[in-house]
Amino acid sequence: MALELKAISATNYPTLGIKETERVCKLIDVSVCIGCKACEVACQEWNDTPVEETYPYTGSYQTMPELAYNFWNLIKFREVELGGSFGWTMAKYQCMHCADPGCLRACPAPGAIVQYTNGIVDFVQENCIGCQFCVTGCPFDVPRLSPKSQKVYKCTLCSDRVAAGLEPACIKACPTGCLQFGTKKQMLEKAMKRVRQLKAQGFSQAAIYDPPGVLGTHAIYVLPHGDRPEDYGLPRDPSVPWIVSLWKGPLKTVGNVVLLGGILTAALHYLKFGPMRAEEKTRG
């Protein structure tokens, strides 16, 4: 499927696709994740992300403490008390591809972040100015700055593969069927079926994680203990940070008015007083 733009950062022109595009979606069924990290490797191999020679041991089975500019797909391991018994959760973490992407809203660089009509949110590094507003804007703490290139990187949902009709690399590598890929509708159906199965097996709180605070995501989870997303490393009620909403919402209008006022004042001032001349300083 061709990638058609839906939204572009710091740009007022909404680009509209000429046809209806199905939204794509990753399904992460945490109940059958065995933390094998095949998805981590596939992500690195496909995206050719440079490998640091040595990372120190993290104090758990987790590859590194957090996502990195060159590590976009991380399984988080947690030892937790779950529903009265001990559990060791493993949940893949990556860009969620929000329907309302905080990163895109926060980004001041035209065209550095785009959202496609299929739901993928992609970073276009050549337009990135490295300001990291997207980092502030992301409710999932995903984007990471490369200290070398001073650009920000994250999971692309393998937009290149998806555009060619393939599933993302992580999905292809997953051995247990924990990761699946399809349209959002299909994945929601599968997720609902799985939640019903889990409930029948005694996981009374099993639920789908598709947070409404960002109008839903294009990576959704099945959580056996859906009432405790934090135990899987996921925020409870993510939404675009208020500072970004304020700045890009009401404040933007206020800012525009102030800006316009400023220009108008400057113009009136020019008309009335003419250009400003620098006074020559006395040479010493």
Partner 1 sequence: MTNGWVDIRNSDVILAMGGNPAENHPCGFKWVIDAKKNRGAKLVCVDPRFNRTAAVSDCYVQIRAGSDLAFLGGLINYTLSKGLYHEEYVRLFTNGPFLIKEGFSFKDGLFSGFNHNTHTYDKSTWQYEQDEKGYVRQGPTMQDPRCVLQLLKKHFERYTPELVSQITGASVKDFLRVAEIVCSTGTPDKAGTIMYALGWNHHTFSVQILRAAAILQLLLGNIGRPGGGLNALRGHSNIQGGTDHGVSYEKLPGYLKIPSVQHQNLKDYLKANTPRTLIPTSMNYWGNYPKFFVSFMKCMFGRYANKENDFCYDYLPKIERDYSWVNMFDDMYQGKLEGMLCFGINPVANGPHSNKMLAALSKLKWLVVAECFETETAQFWKAPGIDPTTINTEVFLLPAANFAEKDGSFTNSARWVQWKWKALDPPGEAKADQEILASIFLKVRKLYEQVPGTFPEPILHLHWPYNNPTNPLLEEVAKEINGQALEDLKDENGKIILRKGHQLSSYDQLKDDGSTACGNWIYCGCFTEEGNMMARRGLKDPTGLGMYPEWTWSWPANRRIMYNRASCDAQGRPWDPTRAGICWNGERWVGDIPDYKHDCPPEAGLGAFIWLPEGAGKIFASDLAEGPFPEHYEPIESPVKNILHPGVSTNPLAKTFKSDMDKYGTPDEYPIVCTTYRLTEHFHFWTKHITVNSELQPEFFVEIPEGLAEELGIKNQQEIRVSSIRGSVQGKAHVTKRIKPMEVNGKKVWQIGIPIHWGFAGRVKGPLANFLTPTALDPNCSIPEYKGFLVKVEKV
Asked if residue 177 binds partner 1 (CB under 8 A), the reply is yes
Give the separation between CA 131 and CA 280, rounded to whole angstroms.
38
Asked if residue 28 binds partner 1 (CB under 8 A), the reply is no
Asked if residue 207 binds partner 1 (CB under 8 A), the reply is no
Give the separation between CA 218 and CA 166, rounded to whole angstroms.
16
CB 201, min distance to partner 1, A: 7
Cβ nearer to partner 1, comparing 33 with 208: 33
Sites for partner 1 among residues 64-83 (CB under 8 A): 79
CB 44, min distance to partner 1, A: 6
CB 37, min distance to partner 1, A: 5
Sites for partner 1 among residues 30-49 (CB under 8 A): 31-38, 40-41, 44-45
Cβ nearer to partner 1, comparing 38 with 240: 38
CB 79, min distance to partner 1, A: 5
CB 175, min distance to partner 1, A: 4
Which of 150, 176, 253, 265 touches partner 1 (CB under 8 A)? Answer: 176
CB 197, min distance to partner 1, A: 7
Q: What six digits make up the tokens of 93?
A: 């973490």
Beta bridge mates, 29: 222
Which of 13, 57, 242, 273 touches partner 1 (CB under 8 A)? Answer: 57
Give the separation between CA 76 and CA 19, rounded to whole angstroms.
38
Sites for partner 1 among residues 220-249 (CB under 8 A): none
Give the separation between CA 20 and CA 17, rounded to whole angstroms.
7
Cβ nearer to partner 1, comparing 201 with 253: 201
Cβ nearer to partner 1, comparing 211 with 229: 229
Which of 1, 2, 61, 255 touches partner 1 (CB under 8 A)? Answer: 61
Of 57-65, 143-151, 213-221, 252-260, the window that binds partner 1 (rule: CB under 8 A) is 57-65
Q: What six digits make up the tokens of 133?
A: 């507003």
Give the separation between CA 34 and CA 75, rounded to whole angstroms.
10
In sign, the C-alpha dihedral spanning 9, 119, 51, 139 is positive
Asked if residue 143 binds partner 1 (CB under 8 A), the reply is no
Binding-site ranges for partner 1 (CB under 8 A): 31-38, 40-41, 44-45, 51-57, 59-61, 63, 79, 86-90, 175-178, 194, 197, 201
